Amino acid sequence: METEIEKAMRVAMQYHQGQTRIGEGGRRVPYYEEHVKKVYEILEQEVGIRDTPLLVMALLHDTLEDTRLTRAQIAESFGDEIARQVDFLTRRKGQPFEEYTNRLFREGDDRAIVVKLADRLHNLRTILWVRDQRWIVKKLRQTQRDILGNLSERNLKEPYRSAARYLEGRIRERVCQVQNSLCLSGEEEEE
């Protein structure tokens, strides 16, 4: 019998089929393998999370935004609460990033916040594969202002607080590494 995590992997792989993103060396790679699965692995392997609903959310975190999977389909397969939290992880078309993150950090549960942090950490680990420095600087600014800024105002409960602290530390380290790679200081990035 298929576990909830196996089912979420299958659904995510199915719905992200044919999608790609820029991978190492600037070549196009399958989106599921390069991003969705990596976010799951950060949570499961690096952070040591065993919380099935959180891991399911991680696998489905981009499906509403990037595929034709609907919230109703997620609710039918995984329950209303998973669907609701995946919805909080979804940025609406044309929605300003600040508005999206404010809503997520205000209304999403602690699990969704942890998924967002792992998502951003993976994006930062691969950000230098994109050759557009202005876009990278924009993403660094969003990370610091809209993600870490909101996180500092959110009181997460254990065990999610410990997971968030770990991920926040890795995010801050990676922001510094990216800034150094681009020869940016914190002040230059704020301009």
Residue type, 58: A
Question: Does a cis peptide bond (omega within 30 degrees of 0) precede residue 159?
Answer: yes
Catalytic center residues: 65-66
Concatenated DSSP letters for 13-72?
A: HHHHTT-EEE-GGG-EEEHIIIIIHHHHHIIIIIS----HHHHHHHHHTTHHHHSS--HH
Mapping DSSP to helix (H, G, I), strand (E, B) and coil, where does residue 131 land? coil
Q: Do residues 179 and 186 lie in contact, with contact meaning Cβ atoms separated by under 8 Å?
A: yes
